Amino acid sequence: MKSVTVAGDVSTFQGVTLPEKVPYSKVYEEFLNPQEVKDAKEWPSETDIMGYVNDARKMKARAEATADALKAKFEATQDPVYRKIDPNSAEGARELLVKQILKSNKKMSREKAEKMADSLIAAEG
């Protein structure tokens, strides 16, 4: 076994952005080979393995169904909120900004949010 540290920052909690990031860190022991897992009596049963496989299949099916449904909704409405955009592209950065503006002001129209995003982007340029 080897000691491994998992660390990061909590920036949101229960759907709320925290005023400042809260750091966390924890050391745990990681197995290096199957025999260590068996010796620790943590080896999964065949039922556990079947559960892992079924859970993975379910997550894959859900992800595919979600992608298909959003693609169909975009094609039907042409509303860009339903379109998958590369977040690393200029268009993706703009769309992320529009979504953040809409999230922070539920009453604002998409058109106004787009104009606000465009003005913020122009101010940066």
Are 123 and 94 found together in one domain? yes
* Cα–Cα distance for residue pair 110/100, rounded to 1 Å: 11
| pLDDT at 125 (0 to 100) | 66
- Our CA angle for 103, 108, 114, nearest 5°, is 85
Are 1 and 16 found together in one domain? yes
Strand pairing report for 2-13 and 16-30: antiparallel
Contacts of 29 (CB under 8 A, 6+ apart): 1, 2, 3, 4
Q: At residue 25, what is the residue type?
A: S
Are 49 and 38 found together in one domain? no
3-state helix/strand/coil string of 42-108: CCCCHHHHHHHHHHHHHHHHHHHHHHHHHHHHHHHHCCHHHCCCCCCCHHHHHHHHHHHHHHHCCCC
Are 72 and 96 found together in one domain? no
Are 50 and 38 found together in one domain? no
Neighbours of 82 (CB within 10 A): 15
| pLDDT at 44 (0 to 100) | 95
| pLDDT at 64 (0 to 100) | 96
The pLDDT tens digits for 70-91 are 999 999 999 877 888 888 888 8
Are 48 and 18 found together in one domain? no
Q: Are 24 and 10 in contact (CB under 8 A)?
A: yes
Are 36 and 71 found together in one domain? no
For 36, the domain range is 1-43
Give the number of domains in the chain: 3
Are 1 and 39 found together in one domain? yes
**Claim: this prediction has a pTM higher than 0.75:** no
The pLDDT tens digits for 7-63 are 999 999 888 889 999 999 999 999 999 999 999 999 999 999 999 999 999 999 999
| For residue 124, pLDDT beyond 80 | no
